[in-house]
Amino acid sequence: MKTPSISVCILSYNYGRYLGQAIDSALDQQPGMYRLAEVLVIDDGSTDNSLEVCASYGERVTVVACEHRGFAATLTEAVQRANGAWVALLDADDWFAPHKLATVAAALTPDYLLVQHWEHVVKADGRPLLDRPHPGGNMSTLIVRRDAALDLLPVSNEMFFHVFDYLGRSVKLSDPLMYYRVHDANMTDRTRPGLWQDYLRKVSIDVTDRLRALAKTPPPWADERQLRRLAWHFAAIASGHAREAAVQRHQRGPAMKAITAELFMALIARRAIFARLIGLRSALTMRPTVRLAPRPQQVS
């Protein structure tokens, strides 16, 4: 089997204080049964020293400097610009374990379109925040096959690539192969009631719309029936986030309306019915199923 080529794509916006560690972790990967095609930094119009940090690496790093357009455009650009058969995504405030690419290489086969792994969760200064590894699921824990990912573009969040997991075309390794940094400048705010769920609801709707569009002309990795049913599943997920947001804000009426839609769509999709019943209990009792995140430590 041909040795898989991997592009490490680092997404950066005003993370100059962390960017060097992210780049070093990509360049210093242990050798294995893979070929590192490139380390690509997509800079979303940073106004700090990010570009100077990139310049210090010379030709070892390829930099795409863009106007500030936001995370969705930057993630889409990363997949478009990558030259490797596989794209290992990395947020500029995170970093890879030295053996990440060597470990995942064995799973980069035609059978899979997505490889996931666990993570270490750390504080801003790199010290552990959790005393054990976390299952992950965020962008820096994903390696996606580029030709399949192109079919999903444009994307607004890494949730789009989890479509391959729902279709049974992914594998998840239990190895914690990256470090996820929690700090006061993280892109997402999970400390205020309902705000994070509002964002996830919108992304879920975006995925739903994309799947319905793809169903009209299915890609090689799914058929029309699979895509339409999965679209209903993501529509149910979107309603679930709306329900959770309403519960966190103590809004009973919107919570009951959302759970009704959630149950209906889940029945059509024939997926995760039990999880929706947990959502029903949450709506009836007005007890959130998701804890608000604690305030992260300040960055010095």
As a whole number, mean pLDDT of residues 18-27 equals 98
- For position 107, what pLDDT does the model report? 95
- For position 300, what pLDDT does the model report? 38
Q: Is the whole-model pTM more than 0.85? A: yes
Q: State the DSSP H helix or E strand holding residue 195, giving kind and residue range, or none if neither.
A: helix 195-216
- For position 188, what pLDDT does the model report? 62
- For position 2, what pLDDT does the model report? 84
- For position 289, what pLDDT does the model report? 87
As a whole number, mean pLDDT of residues 59-63 equals 97
CB of 60 within 8 A of CB of 39? yes
End-to-end CA distance of the chain: 48
pLDDT digits (tens, 9 = 90+) for 62-94: 999 999 999 999 999 999 999 999 999 999 999
pLDDT digits (tens, 9 = 90+) for 42-54: 999 999 999 999 9
pLDDT digits (tens, 9 = 90+) for 227-238: 999 999 999 999
**β partners of residue 86:** 6, 145
As a whole number, mean pLDDT of residues 262-282 equals 89
Q: Are strands 142-145 and 86-91 parallel, antiparallel or unpaired?
A: antiparallel
For the chain, what is the mean pLDDT? 93
pLDDT digits (tens, 9 = 90+) for 134-191: 999 999 999 999 999 999 999 999 999 999 999 999 999 999 999 999 987 665 666 7
As a whole number, mean pLDDT of residues 26-37 equals 97
- For position 187, what pLDDT does the model report? 56
- For position 277, what pLDDT does the model report? 86
Tokens found for residue 259: 């759970």
Q: Which CATH superfamily is domain 5-181 in?
A: Spore Coat Polysaccharide Biosynthesis Protein SpsA; Chain A (3.90.550.10)
**What is d(CA 88, CA 158) in angstroms, rounded to the nearest whole number?**
12
Percent with pLDDT over 70 in the chain: 95
**What is d(CA 297, CA 300) in angstroms, rounded to the nearest whole number?**
9
Residue 170 CB partners (closer than 8 Å, separation 6+): 112, 113, 114, 115, 116, 162, 164
Domain with CATH 3.90.550.10 in the chain: 5-181
CB of 143 within 8 A of CB of 104? yes
As a whole number, mean pLDDT of residues 112-133 equals 95
- For position 1, what pLDDT does the model report? 60
pLDDT category of residue 297 using cuts at 50, 70 and 90: very low
Q: What is the CA radius of gyration of the chain?
A: 20
pLDDT higher than 80, residue 298: no
289 or 154, higher pLDDT: 154
Tokens found for residue 196: 């994070």
pLDDT higher than 50, residue 58: yes
- For position 299, what pLDDT does the model report? 42
pLDDT higher than 70, residue 195: yes
What strands, in cross-sheet order, belong to the sheet with 5-12?
A: 62-66, 35-44, 5-12, 86-91, 142-145, 114-122, 170-181, 95-96
Percent with pLDDT over 90 in the chain: 88
